[in-house]
Amino acid sequence: MHSAATRLRRGALMSQISLKSITKAFGDTPVLNDVSLDIEDGEFVTLVGPSGCGKSTLLRILAGLEAADAGQVAIQGRDVTAIRPADRNLAMVFQSYALYPHLSVAQNMMTPLRMRDLDRAGRLPLIGPLIARAAHRKMRDQVAEVAETLQITPLLDRKPGQLSGGQRQRVALGRAMVRAPVAFLMDEPLSNLDAALRVHMRAELSELHRRLQATFVYVTHDQAEALTMSDRMAVMMHGDILQVGPPNDIYLNPASLDVARFIGSPQINTLPGELNGAGGLDLLGVTSDTRYVGTRQAVTVGLRPEHLNLAQQGRLSGIVRHSENLGADVFLRLEVGGAPAPVVLRAAPADARGRGERVAFDFDPNDALFFDANGARVMVPNAAREVA
């Protein structure tokens, strides 16, 4: 007997997904604007963005629950744009667990298998009782295998009302897994859990993906989920995919100001500056001789809180207006002259400062990100770094 993980790996062997030029509008409101995305076999790809950006609609179009106005959906090289959801062999896990309250965990997990057998029986009405009993035993075995994989075997006889939120989430995952789908589609599955349980379930989902080696397409507005679980993430806003790539690449090298602001917590600091054309950066009234190569231009300078550091001889200074102690880190919110918003600096607890205290700080020019007036990334080589 093959394990659930082995069967799923076999089912996902050719699970490449391709979304080509997907367009969707609800009435006069555009939702998706010519969106394209390729997902490779066994990848964990997260669609992340603010509410209303079109990420759930794109997932529903992939599942067949919504019809695109234009574009193509292909799975394993086959055009499924006009294929009904049941024939796409995709398993969907929703924000609401959608469990039948009157059925046990085992019965809930067996439901998709029963539905598939009923469909087959409709096409083969002469199926005999012996075959039916054999099919039922096979379904029970599949449920038992998946329950063991998810470590919910002791819960099989319970009803959903007797389970915690995390246990119900595992059952919803198990109900999807028994079908050995081509891919798992997950629409904000952790949003109903409390903060501690969300962190725990993030680790469990990542481990499950590693074991199954199946394709996961995951939708969330929570950047922490996208950053911690994904092989690649697609950042969406206003119906467009702004950037696709590994989480660390997107965090360190955002393609636009919108991506830089959305990814990262606390949010990246954005300050008005100017590359002066003589190799220096003018920032908040201070000129840094950084040997940047490029012409004179006004820029928005992006500096993440961890890239700012307290320094007695720092070139910049500000007054502490608020301090957030998170245990391992302290985030200081500084009022800095010329800055359009408070500047957030990450410090060690031992370096915490009190409200109203003036502090000096600095940054490594190599950590600065530059964006033009339209929010596009400006790639500015640093001659000093190249020489080094």
In tens, the pLDDT along 141-171 reads 888 888 888 888 999 999 999 998 888 888 8
Do residues 61 and 67 touch, judged by C-beta distance below 8 A?
Answer: yes
In this structure, which long-range contacts are made by residues 34-40, counting pairs with CB atoms below 8 Å and at least 24 apart in sequence?
A: 34/71, 35/71, 35/239, 35/240, 35/241, 36/241, 37/234, 37/241, 37/244, 39/183, 39/215, 39/217, 40/16, 40/215
| Inter-residue contact 262 to 237 (CB < 8 Å) | yes
Provide the pLDDT for residue 177. 83
pLDDT (0 to 100) of residue 1: 45
Residue 265 sits at φ, ψ, to 5 deg, of -140, 125
pLDDT digits (tens, 9 = 90+) for 18-33: 999 999 999 999 999 9
Indicate where the chain has its CATH 3.40.50.300 domain(s): 4-257
With cut-offs at 50, 70 and 90, classify the pLDDT of residue 116.
low
- Per CATH, which fold does 4-257 belong to? Rossmann fold (3.40.50)
Buried b (16+ CB within 10 A) or exposed e, 143-165: bbbbbebbebeebbeebbeebee
**CATH class as words, domain 267-387:** mainly beta
User: What pLDDT, in 10s, does the model give residues 165-215?
Assistant: 888 888 888 888 887 788 999 998 888 778 888 888 888 889 889 988 899
pTM of the model: 0.84
Q: pLDDT at residue 46 above 50?
A: yes
Q: How far apart are CA 251 and CA 287, in angstroms?
A: 27
Range(s) of the chain covered by CATH 2.40.50.140: 267-387
Q: Is the pLDDT of residue 291 over 50?
A: yes
Q: Where are the beta strands (DSSP E) in the chain?
A: 17-26, 29-39, 44-48, 70-75, 78-79, 90-93, 183-187, 215-220, 232-237, 240-245, 269-275, 280-283, 286-289, 297-303, 308-310, 316-325, 330-335, 343-347, 358-363, 369-371
Mean pLDDT of the chain: 86
- Torsion-angle region of residue 45: left (phi > 0), alpha (psi -120 to 50) or beta? beta
